[in-house]
Amino acid sequence: MTYAAITGWGKCMPPAVLTNADLATFLETDDDWITTRTGMKERRISHVHAVEMAYVASMHALACAGLKATDIDLIVYGSCSFDEMVPNTASALQYKLGADGAAAMDVNTACTSFLYGYSTANAMVRTGVVKRALVVGVELISRYMDWDNRGCAVLFGDGCAAIVIEATEEKTGLLAETLGCYADARSILRVRGYGATYANANVTFGDMLWDFDGPQIFKKAVQGMTDASAKTLAKAGVAAEQIDLVVPHQANSRIIEAVAKYAGLPMEKVHLTVQKYGNMSAATVPVALVEALEEGRIKANAKLLMPAFGAGLTLCSHYVEWGERLTPKDVSNVELPPCEKTALELVDEIRAKKDVRGRSLAGIESAYYVDRKPYATR
Ligand SMILES: CC(C)(COP(=O)(O)OP(=O)(O)OC[C@H]1O[C@@H](n2cnc3c(N)ncnc32)[C@H](O)[C@@H]1OP(=O)(O)O)[C@@H](O)C(=O)NCCC(=O)NCCS
């Protein structure tokens, strides 16, 4: 039987750090509230396009796997903050990498995009459609954040990481997963101003309004990640105590603690990055995975559990068995251009553009709501 081993991994974190104190300069919030309610102290703000972060992370992942870009058959670009909608961003990454000949697709399931993308690529490798795939989790949320809304503005950050998977006959890699979606609650996390509904509709480009019911999302996230993890462990035939490390989506340290508690896993077995990066949506799990490897927290043949949750409301949990190799085959020296500005300056620039253009979303506030009424039949 064919499996898909993870043979390369790499990350790209933008250097500019936005602290809780920075946020308190323009929002009615403070370090104590953010720290106690979310576990977050800092997050990163990117000075470059998302595809540039994806390029750097991918070059590191390819070097780690000992591969050239032309060896890749498929690029899956997991994100919900695309530089452009058409053409897709995976094609921009393919072009920048010189991965000529690779298929290139975007996957958007919000915060679960990397893991949904990993499932897609894994299935294509295991069924023989492709031999080698690059899976990216990348976000540039800062560009479309609703920076006036303290309920969501304090929670998110930018970042990127990528993995390479390759066909193997050894039983390794992604062995079981559960994917799902609580679509009945999809309107509690919605970004208005982004998508065809708002195009040519009298909306000033750049305006963003987030509908964000934090406490409801919190409950659904705990439920979704817990249920998906239980199902995944059952499918894999693995008991919770056999898991060596949990690499979860990191939207809030209290969500992670609740999921770990219900799963019967101690927090010592959870790899946390939320305090320094906040919620990087699709980038969160792969960045945590890369850092867990770099910090020696993943051992040969480790059993890993990766639960995640996002807008949609999408949910998933992945069970991965690591292989033998824990160190990169080679190292890339590619890095981002230097950032001349502070994170607060970058955010202030985004906010200033919005203020100049003004808000015009109010008129189409409920323009797009999907209902379940059947279409009329003839
Ligand atoms: C957003 C979140 C941190 C709020 O925490 P919470 O414990 O649910 O909220 P609380 O009930 O403690 O606090 C709500 C109050 O804090 C206020 N508040 C919200 N954001 C605040 C901020 N940044 N600073 C200060 N106060 C804030 C609210 O206005 C509200 O005030 P009110 O009670 O006077 O109306 C939490 O619900 C959460 O993390 N949800 C998950 C959201 C998420 O990350 N989703 C992404 C997809 S996974």
Is 249 labeled as catalytic in the residue annotation? yes
Question: Stretch 163-186: mean pLDDT, rounded?
Answer: 97
All domains in the chain, ordered by first residue: 3-362 (3.40.47.10)
- Selecting among 80, 88, 279, 318, the annotated active-site residue is 279
- For residue 357, pLDDT beyond 60: no
Residue 378 pLDDT level (bands cut at 50, 70, 90): low
Report the DSSP pairing between strands 132-139 and 74-78.
parallel
Residue 147 pLDDT level (bands cut at 50, 70, 90): very high
Q: Which residue has the higher pLDDT, 317 or 356?
A: 317
What percent of the chain clears pLDDT 70, i.e. is strictly above it? Answer: 92
pLDDT digit string, tens, across residues 213-249: 999 999 999 999 999 999 999 999 999 999 999 999 9
pTM of the model: 0.95
Question: Stretch 82-111: mean pLDDT, rounded?
Answer: 96
Q: What is the DSSP letter of 158?
A: -
Q: Report cis status (omega within 30 of 0) of the bond before 337.
A: no
Q: Say yes or no: CB of residue 37 within 6 Å of ligand 1.
A: yes
Report the DSSP pairing between strands 74-78 and 245-246.
unpaired
Between CA 271 and CA 245 the distance in angstroms is 7
Residue 262 pLDDT = 95
- Selecting among 12, 111, 152, 160, the annotated active-site residue is 111
Is 316 labeled as catalytic in the residue annotation? no
Q: Say yes or no: CB of residue 251 within 6 Å of ligand 1.
A: yes
Using DSSP's 3-state secondary structure scheme, residue 137 falls into strand
- Output b/e per residue, 265-286; b: 16+ Cβ within 10 A: beeebbbbbbebbbbbbbbbbb
Centre of ligand 1 to C-alpha 100, Å, is: 45
Centre of ligand 1 to C-alpha 151, Å, is: 6
Q: Say yes or no: CB of residue 218 within 6 Å of ligand 1.
A: yes
Question: Stretch 53-71: mean pLDDT, rounded?
Answer: 98
Centre of ligand 1 to C-alpha 189, Å, is: 13
Beta bridge partners of 10: 162
* 284-294 helix and 113-126 helix, angle to the nearest 10 degrees: 80
Q: Say yes or no: CB of residue 182 within 6 Å of ligand 1.
A: no
Residue 250 pLDDT level (bands cut at 50, 70, 90): very high
Residue 74 pLDDT = 98
Q: Say yes or no: CB of residue 151 within 6 Å of ligand 1.
A: yes
For all residues of the chain together, what is the average pLDDT?
93
Residue 368 pLDDT = 56
Is 279 labeled as catalytic in the residue annotation? yes
- Selecting among 60, 249, 271, 318, the annotated active-site residue is 249
Q: Say yes or no: CB of residue 252 within 6 Å of ligand 1.
A: yes
Centre of ligand 1 to C-alpha 77, Å, is: 30
- For residue 327, pLDDT beyond 90: yes
Q: Say yes or no: CB of residue 111 within 6 Å of ligand 1.
A: yes
Measured on CA atoms in the order 352, 213, 189, 360, is the torsion positive or negative? Answer: negative
